[in-house]
Amino acid sequence: MEIDLTINTDLARRILTGFIRSEIERIGLQRAVVGLSGGVDSALSCFLAAEALGAENVLAVRMPYRTSSPESLEHAQMVIDATGVQALTVEITDLVEPYFRRFPEMDKRRRGNMMARARMMVLYDQSAAFGGLVVGTSNKTEILLGYSTLYGDSAYAINPIGDLYKTQVWQLAEAMGVPAPIVHKAPTADLWAGQTDEQELGFTYRQADRLLYLLVDRRYTPQECVEAGFDEALVRAVVQRMRRNHFKRLMPPIAKLSNRTIGYDFLYLRDWGT
Partner 1 sequence: MSRLTIALAQINTRLGVPEANLEKHLALIEEARRAGADLLVFPELSLTGYVLQDLAPEVAHRPTHDDPLFAPLLQASKGLDVMVGFVEEGPRHRFYIATAYLSAGAVVHVHRKVYLPTYGLFDEGRFFAWGDEVRAFDTRFGRVGMLICEDFWHASPPYLLWLDGADILLFASASPGRGLSDAPQLESARWVERINRAYASLFTVFVAHANRVGFEDGLHFWGGSTVFDPNGELLAQAPYEDEALILQELDLRELHRVRARLPLLRDERTALVQRELARILAQPNRLR
* Strand blocks (E) in the chain: 31-35, 58-62, 86-89, 132-134
Q: How far is CA 156 from CA 65, 120, 160, 204, in A?
A: 21, 8, 11, 26
Position among 12, 44, 46, 120 found at the interface with partner 1 (CB under 8 A): 12
If binding is defined by CB under 8 A, does position 240 make contact with partner 1? no
Strand bridging mode 86-89 / 58-62: parallel
Tell me the C-alpha distance between 235 and 57, whole Å: 43
Q: Which region among 9-17, 63-71, 143-151, 187-195 touches partner 1 (by CB under 8 A)?
A: 9-17
Tell me the C-alpha distance between 167 and 208, whole Å: 10
Position among 2, 11, 70, 102 found at the interface with partner 1 (CB under 8 A): 11
* Neighbour order of strands in the sheet with 86-89: 86-89, 58-62, 31-35, 132-134
Answer whether 170's CB lies under 8 Å from 6's CB: no
If binding is defined by CB under 8 A, does position 22 make contact with partner 1? yes
If binding is defined by CB under 8 A, does position 218 make contact with partner 1? no
- Report, in Å, the least distance between residue 28 CB and partner 1: 13
- Report, in Å, the least distance between residue 26 CB and partner 1: 8
- Report, in Å, the least distance between residue 127 CB and partner 1: 19
If binding is defined by CB under 8 A, does position 1 make contact with partner 1? no
- Residues with Cβ within 8 Å of 200's Cβ and at least 6 positions away in sequence, in order, are 189
If binding is defined by CB under 8 A, does position 211 make contact with partner 1? no
Answer whether 40's CB lies under 8 Å from 183's CB: yes
If binding is defined by CB under 8 A, does position 271 make contact with partner 1? yes
Answer whether 37's CB lies under 8 Å from 137's CB: yes
Q: Which region among 42-50, 199-207, 235-243, 259-267 touches partner 1 (by CB under 8 A)?
A: 259-267
Position among 2, 4, 105, 107 found at the interface with partner 1 (CB under 8 A): 4
Distance separating the N- and C-terminal Cα atoms of the chain = 44
If binding is defined by CB under 8 A, does position 258 make contact with partner 1? no
Left if phi > 0, otherwise alpha if psi is -120 to 50, otherwise beta: which for 179? beta
If binding is defined by CB under 8 A, does position 28 make contact with partner 1? no
- Report, in Å, the least distance between residue 72 CB and partner 1: 29
- Report, in Å, the least distance between residue 264 CB and partner 1: 11
If binding is defined by CB under 8 A, does position 8 make contact with partner 1? yes
If binding is defined by CB under 8 A, does position 215 make contact with partner 1? no
If binding is defined by CB under 8 A, does position 2 make contact with partner 1? no
If binding is defined by CB under 8 A, does position 269 make contact with partner 1? yes
Rounded to the nearest 5°, which phi and psi values hold at 34? -130, 130
Residues forming contacts to partner 1 in the complex (CB under 8 A) are: 4, 6-8, 10-12, 14-15, 18-19, 22-23, 163, 265-274
